[in-house]
A and B are shown apart, each in its own frame.
Chain A
Amino acid sequence: MDNIILVSVLVLGGVGVVSAVILYFVASKFKVYEDPKIDEVEEVLPSANCGGCGFPGCRAFAEATAKKASEEHNLDGLFCPVGGNDVMKKVGEVLGLEIEEQEPMIAVVRCNGTYENSPGKVKYEGVSSCSFAHAMYTGEGGCQYGCLGLGDCVDACEFDAIYIPEDRGVPIVKDNCTACGACVEACPRDIIELRKRGPKEKRIYVSCVNKEKGAVAIKNCSVACIGCGKCEKVCEFDAITITSFLSYIDFNKCKLCRKCVEVCPTNAIWEVNFKPRKIKLDKKEDKKDGDGKAKSVAKEEKPIDIKSGKVTEVKNNPGGNRE
């Protein structure tokens, strides 16, 4: 009996030792070097695996950063939109690099074709998919550029940062948007755009993407951009361009002076997170006296009323969304 136990122990032990020796040599022969920094970088990343950086996941992004840092000693063009500057700073610390701060971005829905502004003319009964509806028809309101309201962007969002209120039918972006760009990809009508968050979250943008002639656009939606060109003329910083009856504000050039918002006849230009305008009665009185014309007052009063009304309405929104 003793013999059998001894033999088995020796045989198995021998096999174990021989295998270990073979494995040792094989492992050292086929060793793959992996930068230990990859793991460290991955550690500080948000692990959302959203693909917002352009890589298939956080691991791939970590590999890319480690590679670029060791080869080129910079991280130009690599940015984690979810983590933002804080995370990129940590990544920089791990890799021993200084990271230039980038302006934080946010997704902006450039359509205001709500049920109220663009009332339904037809009824859609198909499946709840924007890409499908986009191929089938123009949309219930009749605008062929406008939001279909079926929520492809909501489905695409990994961060629960966009939702469609029932009374609007057009999505609203929440402040926790990480600018990963998934909704931008998902929207078949290219309505959503990534723009700078701006100082103190102040933003100005044209909330319309309709390229039709003004007369046609306004028929379907009361707040459409009609391409009148007033904003382009009033802008002192060349930030506004008009192509095919549609105004676009370059967020890199815009200095947030809000002049374009005042002149827009259809309220297509939105200002977000600004304080409501003060109605400077004294100054106006002065002006009126100086000019001696009642006309100018009437002209100026109108936009103020509308704008201040809009701003307060947005502030009252319980969701805390200012888009």
Chain B
Amino acid sequence: MGLLKTFRLGGVHPPENKLSAGKPIETLPLPKQAVVPLGQNLGAPSKPLVKRGDEVKVGQLIGVGESFISANLHSPVSGKVLKIDTVLDSSGFRRQAVIINVSGDEWMDNIDRSTDIVKEIPYTSEEIINKIKAAGIVGMGGATFPTHVKLMPPPGKKAEFLIINGVECEPYLTADHRVMLERGEELLIGVKILMKALNVNKAFIGIENNKPDAIENLSHLAKDYGDIEIVPLKVKYPQGGEKQLIKAVVNREVPSGKLPIEVGCVVQNVGTTLAVYEAVQKNKPLIERVVTVTGKSLKNPSNFLVRVGTPVKELIEAAGGLPEDTGKVIGGGPMMGKALLNTDIPVVKGTSGVLLMREEEAHRKPESACIRCSKCTYACPMGLEPYLLSRVSKLGKWDVTEKERIMDCIECGSCQYTCPANIPLLDWIRLGKNKTGQILRSRNKK
């Protein structure tokens, strides 16, 4: 295969552990009660449109995004709204959510539920973006940035390339992998739709080399779609980061503090692209997603098609129940995911996986002193010096953190993963990033 493309700086290669790669996507039965948080996207939370006692159907608009960076929210189930109340989110804070008692499975009439693949795209760019906005689609890789905002480049900027992120560089996760295998045709139509929306002539799908079946499947299907190129990539974390993926696929570097559109690129996740296909061709809003439930002790690691609002508990139950030696339940992958407070927390638009870590691997190892080995500097994909950033953050020197470009950190955790002294580098860097960001924002306001 020759030399595979990848990004230049840093990166690590954690054990892949793709336990559920061979498991086809299963549809999970409906939950008895769906808890739909109103703030599922990056930016402002949606404003609720329903009230207690209202009957809702699947796909009915229940929350509306009012500011520029916010998204619509649709009911993932049919039934009666029990209440709008605060529920615990994954970190224990109370957030507004719509709680729906499920009865039956009655869909809105305008949603096409057939499995026929619709190839024709009779819409203009503007119509497509409006449909995506109406369907409440957000980036499903985990960042949950509203997709329609990404499709509207600021004035004066023009997108040249669309890059589809099929990297799935997080260990354990296989949701995107299964989508590329099983829903390839729909995915490619989704890419076409996004290309039309952005008015670009060239699209790439970047896939890491540890998914040869997905690469083969999509390469075969893409023959009918001349301008979509499948790019196999060397396995390296964090290749799924926007800036890393752009560097790997088209060899362009996004300048510090700028967005990918600066170099003419727009990146979308595989899951998002599929949701775009369903929204535009089938009128189906974002109400369900593929979630990987995995873990070394789990009986039956699986990929589930789950309605938003289903408690994580039910996913674990369907995958064989919570193993006794579970130490931590993580929402997302092991590198960037966050420990969940409990298993009643619902699946949201950004939940890509549920990882059950065994007790022995769930805890941090005791920290020792920095030995100046500079492994973190080699691992940093953004060319930063993590040991320095964490140290000055600890000391509270926010002028140094700013000068050392702490805001460029993508919080991938490569530094902390590679540190032989088990120093919680990323924790301190996150603190520094948080404080420096506050200072920068208040300065910009002046």
Contacts and interface: CB of A to CB of B under 8 A. Distances in A.
Interface of A: 121-122, 125-127, 129, 131-132, 135-139, 142, 144, 212, 216
Interface in B396-441: 424, 427-428, 430-431, 434-435
Given A127-B431, A132-B427, A132-B430, 8 more contacts: A126-B427, A127-B428, A129-B394, A129-B431, A131-B434, A137-B92, A144-B92, A212-B94
B94 A142 contact: no
A125 B363 contact: yes
Nearest to A138: B92
A15 B110 CA distance: 100
A121 B339 CA distance: 13
Given A127-B428, A135-B430, A135-B431, A144 B341 contact: no
B251 interface: no
B201 interface: no
Nearest to A130: B431
Contacts of B424: 126-127
Nearest to A124: B339
A121 B93 CA distance: 14
A137 to B, nearest CB: 4
19 contacts: A125-B364, A127-B424, A127-B427, A129-B394, A129-B427, A129-B428, A129-B431, A131-B431, A131-B434, A131-B435, A132-B427, A132-B428, A135-B434, A136-B91, A137-B91, A137-B92, A138-B91, A144-B92, A216-B86
Contacts, number: 42
A202 B94 CA distance: 36
Interface residues of B, number: 16
B431 A132 contact: yes
A242 B341 CA distance: 31
A151 to B, nearest CB: 13
Interface in B78-128: 86, 91-94
Contacts of B431: 127, 129, 131-132, 135
Contacts of A137: 91-93, 341
A169 to B, nearest CB: 17
A137 B93 CA distance: 7
Nearest to A144: B93
B432 to A, nearest CB: 9
Nearest to B434: A135
Nearest to B435: A131
Contacts of B427: 126-127, 129, 132
Contacts of B428: 127, 129, 132
A122 B86 CA distance: 20
